Structure 1
Amino acid sequence: MVTVKRAAAGIAMAFLSYSAAASNTLSDTRSVGMGGVGVASANYLTASFHNPALATQNKRHDSFGMILPVIGAQVYDGNDLHDRVDAFQDLNDQLAGNPDLVDEWTAALKDLDDGRIDGDVNVGMVVAIPNRMVSTNFFISSNVTALVLTDIDEDDIANHEVINSTGQAVAGGTVDIGFTFAKEFIFLDRDLSLGVSPKLQQLMAFNYKQGIDTFDDDDIDIGSDYVDKSAFNADIGAAYALSRNVMLGLSVQNVFSQSLTSNESSGNQVTYEVEAQYTTAFAYNHPRFTVAADVDLNSNKPFKEQAYKTQFARIGIEADAWRVAQLRLGYIHSMTDFSDDLFTAGIGLKPFGKFGLDIAAIYGNEDNYGASAQLVFHF
């Protein structure tokens, strides 16, 4: 019997194991704790995940830094779709021997229409070498998005037989390996930083579709069925210090559009698309706290054939206690109907100055939750 609750996150995790690398949607753990902000508030270590221009934002004593690794995952299961699929499949197995269950069977099938579970998994690392000439980071980052979808046909409801109603699992992801280069200039008596992250990008896509009565994640074989291709891409960004404490940011991730058609399953394919993502941001940086806000200027629609898309406005705050501990809180507002608003929280611990551990959590309604963790080294 299907275990759909784990399917979306499980597919994403399996996808990462075959793609062999690393994080973007959840980005770094500090950002997750602050609601996903970073385009104007990232530090020199995390700039490659948000805005390459911020690689210049190092302290005078910073000569080398590293995040190894950052790991994050998020799962959304609105209205307990996994339980409802299990319940329907049980009823479907019993229906042939007990026609009295037909009304209950019909209600259970109707209840599955347009169901969705989605999951994201991210892993990453970065090595940073700040300097006055050109600040440079080497980074590996990947993001995998997986969806489990149900589509119920009205004829099946009327005929009390599963013919056209389906369950479908799709996944798409990227693995980026690249360098960030950033330089600071004086513009209108203020500091202007410009940055670029050229990167080798590996795209992957996977599709599995079956009748809703037989849909089973045990039959999913990502290792032999997924398709992939390599491409060149880049991120660019700018950061302008409006004052000593106020930073404005603008980033464009994945400047060059890419797409990849998945494997065929039950006569069906999906197209995974990577489009440019534009984000603008504001941050107020005080020695003891940071307040930041990011807004996506366009939506992200990972699968061409699916209506699913995301776009967010984010706000976050970080309070610093003598550079030894940090408390972070954030709020993520969904600008589409395909995601709920989310609350985030996180802590950072740097008891010895050079080494730190960050952890963060995400929570929303209807089984929407996530977590992230990373190890940070400063020298």
Structure 2
Amino acid sequence: MLFTRSTLASLIGLALIASPALANDNRSHAMGGSGVANGKYFQSGSLNPALAANFEERDHFGLILPAVYFEAADQDQLTDRIDDFQDSFDQLEWLLEQVDMGVPVNEQQLEQARGQLADDFTNIRGTVIADVGVHASASIPNRFAAASFFINSDLSAFTSAKPDENDIERILNAQSDNELNELTSEGYVVGRLITDVGVALARDFNLFGRNLTFGVAPKMQQIESFTYFSALSDIDTDDFDADEYRSSSSAVNVDLGMTMDLSERMSFGVSMQNLISQEVDGQPIYSRQLNDLVSLDYEIKPHAVAGLGYNTRRMSLSLDLDLTKQNYLGLSPESQLQVFGESRETQFVRAGYEYDIARWIQVRVGYRHDMQDSYESAITAGLGFSPFGRMHINLSAMYADDRNLGAGAQLGFTF
């Protein structure tokens, strides 16, 4: 019986096996996820297609291979609580098996095992949230039609438990291991993996003396969902991503974007991602608590972000705002009611700052806040190392609290 010391490792493995890519690179993550108005040209595939034309004369080619990022939150120590429950369950189950085989067992020992399991059961609470991504791109800036070929993959997963209060009485009165295995409390893992493969194309225009850039990013999109329910005592993370728990759908989608210079140093940008809505029906799976099949539906809806940017030779400031709300984990409102008992959405405001020291070292900080409170507010930070301004090693970190952390690394080259 396993639970979740390996859950996060399994989630990472699912994302990396499925495809090598992420929704934002580590420069952006270190700056709170911002950069729609003034990101670099090699960020166009993840932030804003119009950024493909945001390059300097010295830039001829940019490569990110790869950027990897991971966030996890386990604020109530759910993993430890379920581990304790499973250890106690195994102990009581073993004692009851001895009774069934006619082996003498001390009744006081049995009562202590029942009490310990009941205590560990009542302590179960909390959630584990994991977000994993990988990003790769190859960018060719030019004045005619700047292009950036990209692969993005973004995994979001939610792990929790659904205890049945009636199980306490079953635990305290269990006389055999068969009775113990009739507990209906469950644990579950739900989530979705989105993989985009496409090209961002952008071109500059001059409008009344101001630089205006439009970008478009047609892409192939695969959406994969997974829904895994299992007895709380017997969750096996080696199985949760098996084919029987997964469903997928492929389609064509498109992102649009624009940037405009408001002044010599100030810019404005808008990015509109996933203009074509997508739906994926999850695999039906049996819930022992509901004594019925559970089928969760996922939605990918258009997502609009507006941003402001301020740049000097050495410094960048970014501020982004989600103009549209998104379904939490991409789950439809009806499916969220089945899982959470309520409907949840996300809508972020992001801010970031970067200071460049002679093109060799970049210091970055940022802040991210979910106005819908589905995610904790977070502080971000990072360092960039750019020898000769051509090789780029970016490191990023995120902190919300001691059990809600993130980190990432990225290797890139510009010529």
- Shared fold (TM-score, shorter chain, > 0.5): yes
Whether 1:360 aligns to 2:388 is no
CA distance in 2, matches of 1:377, 1:56: 17
CA distance in 1, matches of 2:357, 2:127: 42
Whether 1:286 aligns to 2:297 is no
CA distance in 2, matches of 1:188, 1:163: 71
Whether 1:125 aligns to 2:136 is yes
Structure 2 equivalent of residue 48 of structure 1 = 45
Matched residue pairs, number?
375
Report the CA distance between 1:101 and its aligned residue. 5.1
1:192-222: CA deviation from partner (whole Å, max 9, x where unpaired): 1111100001111112101212223233343
CA distance in 2, matches of 1:240, 1:122: 29
Paired residue for 2:34, among 24, 33, 37? Answer: 37
CA distance in 2, matches of 1:249, 1:6: 41
CA distance in 2, matches of 1:366, 1:77: 9
Q: Which moved more, 1:231-240 or 1:362-371?
A: 362-371
Structure 1 equivalent of residue 239 of structure 2 = 219
1:87-122: CA deviation from partner (whole Å, max 9, x where unpaired): 122233344652345555444323324x21111111
Structure 2 equivalent of residue 111 of structure 1 = 123
CA distance in 2, matches of 1:295, 1:107: 45
CA contact (8 A) 1:5 1:117 kept: no
Letter in 1 for 2:30: G
Structure 2 equivalent of residue 240 of structure 1 = 260
Counterparts in 2 of 1:59 and 1:322: CA distance versus 1, 3 Å: same
Report the CA distance between 1:270 and its aligned residue. 2.1
Report the CA distance between 1:143 and its aligned residue. 0.6
Whether 1:316 aligns to 2:352 is yes
Report the CA distance between 1:308 and its aligned residue. 4.8
Structure 1 equivalent of residue 203 of structure 2 = 183
CA distance in 1, matches of 2:157, 2:5: 12
Report the CA distance between 1:351 and its aligned residue. 1.4
CA contact (8 A) 1:11 1:171 kept: no
Structure 2 equivalent of residue 22 of structure 1 = 21
After the TM superposition, which residues 143-222 of structure 1 pair with which residues of structure 2 at under 5 Å, given as runs? 143-160=154-171, 163-222=183-242
SS in 1 for 2:295: coil
SS in 2 for 1:39: coil
Q: Which moved more, 1:313-322 or 1:351-360?
A: 351-360
Counterparts in 2 of 1:158 and 1:276: CA distance versus 1, 3 Å: farther
CA distance in 2, matches of 1:354, 1:362: 26
SS in 1 for 2:152: strand
1:270-310: CA deviation from partner (whole Å, max 9, x where unpaired): 22321112211111111111111111223322122124543
Report the CA distance between 1:335 and its aligned residue. 1.9
Paired residue for 1:351, among 384, 387, 392? Answer: 387
Counterparts in 2 of 1:206 and 1:289: CA distance versus 1, 3 Å: same
CA contact (8 A) 2:14 2:241 kept: no
CA contact (8 A) 1:23 1:143 kept: yes
Structure 2 residues without counterparts, runs of 5 or longer: 96-109, 172-179, 287-292, 337-342
Structure 2 equivalent of residue 92 of structure 1 = 89
CA contact (8 A) 2:245 2:285 kept: no
SS in 1 for 2:233: coil
1:120-145: CA deviation from partner (whole Å, max 9, x where unpaired): 11112111111111111111111111
After the TM superposition, which residues 297-308 of structure 1 pair with which residues of structure 2 at under 5 Å, given as runs? 297-301=323-327, 302-304=330-332, 305-306=335-336, 307-308=343-344
CA distance in 2, matches of 1:259, 1:11: 25
Report the CA distance between 1:164 and its aligned residue. 3.0
1:137-182: CA deviation from partner (whole Å, max 9, x where unpaired): 1111111112112112233345446633210012311111111111
Identity %: 34
Report the CA distance between 1:366 and its aligned residue. 4.3
1:6-39: CA deviation from partner (whole Å, max 9, x where unpaired): 31x3343232244233110xx1011111111121
CA distance in 1, matches of 2:262, 2:155: 36
SS in 2 for 1:49: coil
SS in 2 for 1:40: coil
Counterparts in 2 of 1:50 and 1:363: CA distance versus 1, 3 Å: same
Counterparts in 2 of 1:272 and 1:6: CA distance versus 1, 3 Å: farther
CA distance in 1, matches of 2:245, 2:183: 24
Counterparts in 2 of 1:36 and 1:17: CA distance versus 1, 3 Å: closer
1:201-251: CA deviation from partner (whole Å, max 9, x where unpaired): 111111210121222323334356422221011111111111111111111
SS in 2 for 1:144: strand
After the TM superposition, which residues 134-145 of structure 1 pair with which residues of structure 2 at under 5 Å, given as runs? 134-145=145-156
CA contact (8 A) 1:77 1:366 kept: no
